[in-house]
Amino acid sequence: MEKETIKYISQPTIKRLPLYLNILRNLPKDQNFVSSSYIAAELKLEPIQVRKDVSSLGITGQARMGFNALQLIETIESVLGWSNTRDAFVVGVGSLGTAILGYKGFEDHGLKIIAGFDNDVKKVTTKVHGREIFHVNQLAELARRMNIQIGILTVPNEVAEITANLMVKAGIKAIWNFTQTKLFMPHDVIVERVDLASSFAVLSSKLVEQKTKGAKSEA
Amino acid sequence: MEKETIKYISQPTIKRLPLYLNILRNLPKDQNFVSSSYIAAELKLEPIQVRKDVSSLGITGQARMGFNALQLIETIESVLGWSNTRDAFVVGVGSLGTAILGYKGFEDHGLKIIAGFDNDVKKVTTKVHGREIFHVNQLAELARRMNIQIGILTVPNEVAEITANLMVKAGIKAIWNFTQTKLFMPHDVIVERVDLASSFAVLSSKLVEQKTKGAKSEA
DNA sequence: TAGATTGTTAATCGATTAACAATC
DNA sequence: TAGATTGTTAATCGATTAACAATC
């Protein structure tokens, strides 16, 4: 397979890559080529957008054929760093942390959750979904020993900042932040926040909009 | 309080409104006015962006003073439909559904989770975080009786589409979709997807980027 | 060949940011 | 008054979409 020259990949493109990957992985085994219009139809996107995204990966297709599916899969996995699994710790074993400890789907994203941490001694030394729970004051030692780069932050908002600082001190390089708190971290620490409130805001504002429209058309 | 003329509010703005709301609600009680630069600093945004967003809500401020905090709070809540609580069902009581059934923070977003549904008879009639779990074949009846508009979809991917269809038949108008599946629903049904894979893609691609940069600077 | 599909260049669209007069 | 802050208009930036020649 030829070497691709990867250009700058925009964040909107990065966010679509897992969707493409999902489709490509579920392709029938004997289907070696896939067209931009096929992918687009599956995702309700425009073919041109798929082609633009693929082009930014440095992949070229073949007229009348489309793109090499295997090459696409491998390139996306490599761009996302999903080719090899990365180990991660979950910090905060409340209901959300528990759910994440038990979620199987992350393996498809190259993410392997190793253990959980909590400051509640009642939770420590128990197992949640087969993973051991340690006290947060063991975080630094274990993270360094196991060379953990990714921390999943699922503590209550009030302790989000202080816990994130602990994680950074423990050598963690990337924080997946499930709290409501905007973290102010050193610039070399990667922080990505899952913002449920923003997502729900979109949903509920549309519901408001639809209702006012309905009220108008009734009048 | 004067009536605001609300203009078109863009989706990026809608997504920032919960962040603003969070800050405004945590303001000291005696602080009646708040400036765009204060909000911006708290969120690492630009003041001009905050002013633009506020302006699209139809709110005007006062030079040297800023904006009326209470008016801002009330307007944001009204735009998002968070002034009154809305009831919702969780469909799919796996680990994620369980976490959502137990999450307290939704009340701040005008969301009240009433009950859970599953197709596993072992889960039915149990209680999860104090909420009753029913069999999915009771969904239609209960949703109609209680006039439920919002459904939270936390089933496995394989049954996402079929379950969403059940929800629509039950009269549910908005689906908060936590699955990986892109849903094709009637146009009057609102669907908003929480895409963990996209979020993680951003994080892990940055990790890849940083590593290649590091490798280069070492060379 | 005919026609489907890619891939490049340009146009459009929309959001963010800048500039600065108005205002309290 | 002086100066901080709003709010409007214009500039910039970046992503999406359109157009269409090239290609297999």
Could you report the per-residue pLDDT of B9-21, keeping only the tens digit for each? 999 999 999 999 9
DSSP of chain A: -PPP------HHHHHHHHHHHHHHHTS-TT--EE-HHHHHHHHT--HHHHHHHHHHTT---BTTTBEEHHHHHHHHHHHHT-SS-EEEEEE--SHHHHHHHH-SGGGGGTEEEEEEEES-TTTTT-EETTEEEEEGGGHHHHHHHHT--EEEE-S-GGGHHHHHHHHHHTT--EEEE-SSPPP---TTSEEEE--HHHHHHHHHHHHHHHHHHHHHHH-
Across the range B30-44, mean pLDDT stands at: 96
How, if at all, do strands A111-118 and A131-135 pair? parallel
Please give the pLDDT value at position B213: 72
State the Rg of chain A over Cα: 21
- Strand D proximal to B68 Cβ, under 7 A: no
Å from the A122 CA to the D16 C1': 52
Å from the B50 CA to the D2 C1': 26
Q: Kindly list the residues from chain B whose CB atom is less than 8 angstroms away from the CB atom of residue A197.
A: 18-19, 22, 105, 108-109
Of A99, A110, A194, the CB nearest to B199: A194
Number of residues that this document lists for chain A: 219
Please give the pLDDT value at position B211: 83
Could you report the per-residue pLDDT of A25-35, keeping only the tens digit for each? 999 999 999 99
Say if the Cβ atoms of A201 and B105 lie within 8 Å.
no
Looking at chain B, the whole-number percentage of residues with pLDDT higher than 70 is 95
Q: How far is B124 from chain A (nearest CA, A)?
A: 19
Q: How far is A30 from chain B (nearest CA, A)?
A: 22
Please give the pLDDT value at position B218: 52
* E-only strand ranges, B57-198: 67-68, 86-91, 111-118, 127-128, 131-135, 150-153, 174-177, 190-193
Please give the pLDDT value at position A218: 52
State pTM to two decimals. Answer: 0.93
Q: How far is A64 from chain B (nearest CA, A)?
A: 27
Across the range A201-213, mean pLDDT stands at: 91
Could you report the per-residue pLDDT of B140-172, keeping only the tens digit for each? 999 999 999 999 999 999 999 999 999 999 999
Say if the Cβ atoms of A182 and B110 lie within 8 Å.
no
Å from the A46 CA to the C9 C1': 18
Q: Kindly list the residues from chain A whose CB atom is less than 8 angstroms away from the CB atom of residue B101.
A: 95
Mutate which of B167, B205, B213, B217 to test chain A, going by most A C-beta atoms within 10 A?
B205
Please give the pLDDT value at position B1: 44
Q: How far is A78 from chain B (nearest CA, A)?
A: 8
Please give the pLDDT value at position A111: 98
Please give the pLDDT value at position A217: 57
User: Rounded CA gap, B175 and B183, in Å?
Assistant: 10
Please give the pLDDT value at position A1: 44
Mutate which of A13, A205, A209 to test chain B, going by most B C-beta atoms within 10 A?
A205
Of B18, B196, B207, the CB nearest to A201: B18
Q: By the 8 A CB rule, do B143 and B80 touch?
A: no
Residue A3 has pLDDT above 60, yes or no: no
Sheet holding B111-118, edge to edge: B127-128, B131-135, B111-118, B86-91, B150-153, B174-177, B190-193
Please give the pLDDT value at position B5: 67
Q: What is the mean pLDDT of chain A?
A: 93
Shortest CA distance to A88 belongs to which of A79, A80, A97?
Answer: A97
Could you report the per-residue pLDDT of A157-188, keeping only the tens digit for each? 999 999 999 999 999 999 999 998 989 999 99
Across the range A3-12, mean pLDDT stands at: 80
Please give the pLDDT value at position B2: 43
Could you report the per-residue pLDDT of B66-118, keeping only the tens digit for each? 999 999 999 999 999 999 999 999 999 999 999 999 988 899 999 999 999 99
Shortest CA distance to A86 belongs to which of A63, A108, A62, A103?
Answer: A108
Å from the A67 CA to the C10 C1': 25
- Strand C proximal to A153 Cβ, under 7 A: no
Across the range B42-70, mean pLDDT stands at: 97
Contacts (Cβ under 8 Å, ≥6 apart) of A145: none
Say if the Cβ atoms of B80 and A42 lie within 8 Å.
no
Q: What is the mean pLDDT of chain B?
A: 93
Q: Residue B210: pLDDT band by 50, 70, 90 thresholds?
A: confident
Could you report the per-residue pLDDT of A131-153, keeping only the tens digit for each? 999 999 999 999 999 999 999 99
